[in-house]
Structure 1
């Protein structure tokens, strides 16, 4: 029988409660406020062109305007038994002390730091900001090197901004001044202005030459406009990212700068919709560090951590790799196989009986690192665990996605195509401690 494939630990009463007869709405935990999710699509996320040169970007999500997420409390998530991921004020204080002690060492023990962080980093005291920088290899293990490494990286980012965010007029003028200086040329009036005949043809604003800075500027305009639109709708419920305040606008400008520079430095992938959602938690954490030096340099620090984080998952954003062994379809298939390995009954019901293609929901889960499925505070907790995986976030991410299915398995087994798709495209509020606990159990039972 198929049921024999269900692990014994899944047969506990924790998972076997009957589905709720009716849903109840509970207020989201403040702060920050819950995220507004996208409207459930009737088909997989679409592919749209990001620029006129053939580079394509997937639309990972479309905002749902002012629609607010309804948080459904599922009895399946209630349990009288605790686990190592459950929120406990005493445990939080203890872990904060342990993390602080680890961060005070001259040489950071990354194995111990990863172990502690994987259980969740307590909010406050700026610990998460520093730990994430270490987990993403932005800060070296040797604390004596922190000052010099930070100075070097921040200077490098300043150069990126100076070189890549210039108006083409400035670039053209600097090129003209450089040419004039090298040749010792001056106009008849001796004012250092080039005569009309000496302006390089390729640098004229109407030039269609491929090497023209103006032509490149016009090619970049569409991507920059897309970045601007996406940044403005990033977490619209949070004053940190949205609104007319000077701080919100400054934060939006920082996100735009990072995404534009990344796009220009990575012409093979450029910008794909949804990258703004992955960027937001990093910038939020770094900008809220109590260390004033980290706050001032949050944009530069976020850029390099964003590059590192994306380096491990960028294949999911590359349409040309969709059907390859490293593309998003292969990644989703691995999640499906993981579910089949641990709960074949649920896998069979979803994919064979109700024919819910995992791409309809898992595409967004995976490409956006679950940033659209939970409230912001819970996202940070989940990311503590994702970033703590020494092999990178993807394997842990797949286990968390599989755990999300298992947590609502009774409702899924009782549902048809429509009910299950609706549930998975608007995932109910859940106990993040239980979710990470089950994901970790999947790791320990993967070879059982």
Structure 2
């Protein structure tokens, strides 16, 4: 999540990849070795979510260490020091929500605590994201939702078509939007369904609402499969849905290219980069994949698209996110 964290850990990246894949990463075991390796790596670094050991816990970014990173006005003055703790042991769950807002860029390091308090209040008030006011009898409140748009939203009226030049076009737009909502619901009920948190229908509804609003306010991207996996941690982490939305939106700013429908996506570029890294760091695995014609690395597509959310456990994926 933090580029600075990645730089601090860059010298050992090659060793990690070698270790994860193994010297004998042939005979069809590369995929399994990679998944087991990444999971072990995260556990060895430390699992800040589930009762970390005293040794690993001592390396974790704890509240007392985090609070020393601020001056009297609330400006962050020791962020690099905090990043080192994050890389070594993750973030204490009690401060994870606050720390992630800085890692994602929701707040500038130079912002004061008073400015952040006001900005948070403005975001919650102005968006009305998840109160009943964004919905009306027709399915949404156009005035409220239109105020949230962050890019080239369509001008046609989704409900009655009075601004559309064609009734047929209006019906097509309505059908398209209803299909988007259907896809969101289908994906949400399958996302992290093993968590007790999502045993409550209210929490699944929260995720659906956030994805629907994002699809509306960023129509050039819309909704794509995989977004629910990226959103889920924020829904769990933040009680206020507006906070969860803004963190998700900041993450998608970095990953929006991954969900492009035309041209080479960001994931394809990342796969190409991974192939070049593998050629240097694990020659045996590189040669094996070349021999079987797997240069495309399609088996790793999902890993990069949803940031290992489905390859790692929920807790492990949070730790992995904090590393990158």
- Whether these two folds match at TM > 0.5 is yes
CA contact (8 A) 1:102 1:113 kept: yes
- Partner of 2:167: helix, strand, or coil? coil
Q: TM-score, normalised by structure 1?
A: 0.53
1:238 to 185, 195, 201: 195
Alignment of 1:348 onto 2:290: no
TM-superposed CA distance for 1:94, in Å, is 5.4
Cross-structure match for 2:4: none
Mapped pair 1:151 → 2:121: yes
Partner in structure 2 of residue 182 of structure 1: none
Residue 99 (1) aligns with residue 37 (2): no
Counterparts of 1:235 and 1:385, CA distance in 2: 21
Give the match for residue 154 of structure 2.
Answer: none
Where 1:365 maps in the other structure, the secondary structure is helix
- Helix, strand or coil: the match of 1:321? coil
Aligned partners of 1:315 and 1:321 also within 8 Å: no
Matches within 5 A, 1:18-417: 88-93=53-58, 95=60, 96=62, 97-102=64-69, 106-109=74-77, 110-124=79-93, 126-141=94-109, 142-158=112-128, 165-168=135-138, 202-203=161-162, 208=167, 210=169, 212=170, 216-241=173-198, 243=199, 248-286=200-238, 295=239, 297=240, 299-322=241-264, 327-350=266-289, 352-386=290-324
What is the CA-CA distance between 1:16 and the residue it aligns to?
6.8
The answer to whether the 8 A contact 1:99-1:113 is kept is yes
Q: Normalized against structure 2, the TM-score is what?
A: 0.72
Long gaps (5+) in structure 2: 1-12, 145-159
Superposition deviation, residue 258 in structure 1: 0.8
Give, in angstroms, the shift of residue 341 of structure 1.
Answer: 1.8
Residues 1:158 and 1:341: Cα distance change in structure 2 (over 3 Å) = same
Task: Quote the offset at 1:327 in angstroms.
Answer: 3.3
Q: Is contact 2:21–2:285 with CA below 8 Å preserved after alignment?
A: no
